[in-house]
Structure 1
Amino acid sequence: MELLKMAGILFVINALTIGGGYAMIPMLQREFVNNYHWLTNKEFIDAIAIGQVTPGPLTVMNAFLGFKIGGLAGALIAMAASYLPCIIIVTLVTKFYLRYKELWLVMASFAGIKPAIVGLLAAVLIFLSQSSITGSLTKGIAVVSFALLTFTKIDPSLIIIASGIIGAFLL
C-alpha cells in the first residue's frame, strides 16, 4: 500500500510541477519527510546529494526515495511514476503549444508562471542551506561553489566532485 501511495504522490507532483525538477524538491520534502515520515530530513538531503553526482539527478533521487520505501520494486515504481506524467504532458503540450503559443492567454500564463518558479527555487535554496550549511567550512564551500558556477565556465560536476573531496578530508 505504501508503494501505491508513493507512486500516486510522485505522479501528482511530477504532473503538476512547472519549472524543472528542482521546483519539486519542496513538495517532495513535504510529502516524504513531513507528512509520511518515510525519510528523515538527512536521508532526503542525502538523496538530493546522490542525485547531483550522477547523470539524471532527479531520476536518481526519486529512485533512491522509492528504494528507501520499497526496495528495488519501490525504485522502479518511483521511476515509472516520475516519468509517466512527463511523457503524457510533453506529448499534449507540444501538440497544442505549437498551435496556440501566440495567443495572449498562453503568453500571459507563462509570464505568470516564471516568477512562481523563481519563488519555488528560492524555497529550495533556503531548505537546502538550512540543513547543509552548518559551519564556516560548509559556508566557504557554498560561496566558492556559487562564485565558480556564476563567474567561470567550470563544469558543475567538477565543482561537485572537488567539494566532495574537500568534505571527505576536512569535515
Structure 2
Amino acid sequence: MMVLLRLCWLLIVINALTIGGGYVMLPMLQREFVEKNHLLTNQEFLDAIAIGQITPGPMTVMNAVIGYKISGLIGAILAMLSSYLPCIIIVTLVTKYYYDYKESIIVQSGFKGIKPAVIGLLSVVAVSLGHTALVDLPTLGIAVISFAVIAFTKTDPSFVIVGAGILGAILS
C-alpha cells in the first residue's frame, strides 16, 4: 500500500511541477524512481520510455508501464490517474487567467528562462540514459543514425523507433 501511495504522490508532484512538456519530467522521474527510491532499475526506466515512444500518448503509457512494473495493473491505473490529475487542475486554472496576463513582461521573461532550462534537463536525461542504452558500437551507431534521420529529415519518429528496433534485433 505504501508503494502505491509513493507512486501516486511522486507522479502527482512531478506532473504538477514540470513546465515544458512531458519530456521535461524525465530527469525527475529517473531520479525519484531509479536513483532515490529504487523502485525501478535504470534499464526498466529506459524500457518504459521505449514502450511509451511506440504508442500514442507516450508519457501516459510510460507512466502506466512504470506503475505496472511497481505494482501491477492497479499501479498502472493509479499511475495514469496520478499523471492526469495535476494537469487537469493546472490547465483549468491557467486557461482561466492566461489571456489576462500573457502580455505581462514577467510572464514572458519567465518563459524565456524556462526554455533553456528544459534543454538542460533533457540533456541530463540523454547522458544518463545513454550510459545504459549505448553499450557497444552497434547501439552507438543506431543512436547516431536515429538522431541524423530525425534531425535532418521529416521522417516520423515512430518509424525511426520501429526501424531501430528491427536493426537492433538483426545486429543482436
Q: Is TM > 0.5 for Structure 1 vs Structure 2?
A: yes
Aligned to 1:54: 55
Q: What amino acid sits opposite 1:43 in the alignment?
A: E
Confirm whether residue 124 of structure 1 aligns to residue 122 of structure 2.
no
Report if the CA contact (8 A) 1:22-1:124 is conserved.
no
Q: Read off the aligned partner of 2:7 and give its amino acid letter.
A: M
Give the deviation of 1:131 after TM superposition: 1.1
1:66-145 to structure 2, matched below 5 A, reads 66-145=67-146
Most deviating of 124-133 and 82-91: 124-133
* Structure 2: segments with no counterpart, 5+ residues: none
2:36 aligned partner? 35
Alpha-carbon offset, residue 2 of structure 1: 1.1
- 2-side partners of 1:153 and 1:70: how far apart? 39
Q: Distance in 2 between matches of 1:147 and 1:38?
A: 34
1:22 counterpart residue number: 23
Query: What's the CA shift string for 1:126-148, capped at 9, x where partnerless?
Result: 11211111111111111111111
| 1:117-167 CA-partner distances (Å, limit 9, x unpaired) | 111111111112111111111111111111111111111111111110011
**Aligned partners of 2:80, 2:148: CA distance in 1, in Å?**
33
Match of 1:147 in 2: 148
- Confirm or deny: 8 A CA contact 1:10 1:78 kept in the other structure: yes
Shift of 1:78: 0.5
CA contact (8 A) 1:14 1:86 kept: yes
Cα distance between partner residues in 2 of 1:19 and 1:131: 25
- With the length of structure 1 as denominator, give the TM-score of the two structures: 0.97
Matching of residue 63 in structure 1 with residue 35 in structure 2: no
Asked if the contact 1:66–1:74 (Cα under 8 Å) also holds between the matched residues in 2, the reply is yes
Normalising to structure 2: TM-score of the pair?
Answer: 0.96
Q: Which amino acid aligns with 2:137?
A: S
Counterpart of 1:11 in structure 2 is 12
Aligned mates of 2:119, 2:140 — CA distance in 1: 22
Inter-partner Cα distance in structure 2 for 1:29 and 1:101: 32
Cα deviation, residue 102, structure 1: 0.6
1: CA distance, partners of 2:35 / 2:144: 29
**SS of the residue aligned with 1:37?**
coil
- Secondary structure at the aligned position of 2:8 is classed as helix
- Between the aligned partners of 1:106 and 1:66, the Cα distance in structure 2 is 35
Contact conserved, 2:42 with 2:129, CA < 8 A, in 1? no
Q: Which moved more, 1:6-15 or 1:36-45?
A: 36-45
Unaligned runs of 5+ in 1: none
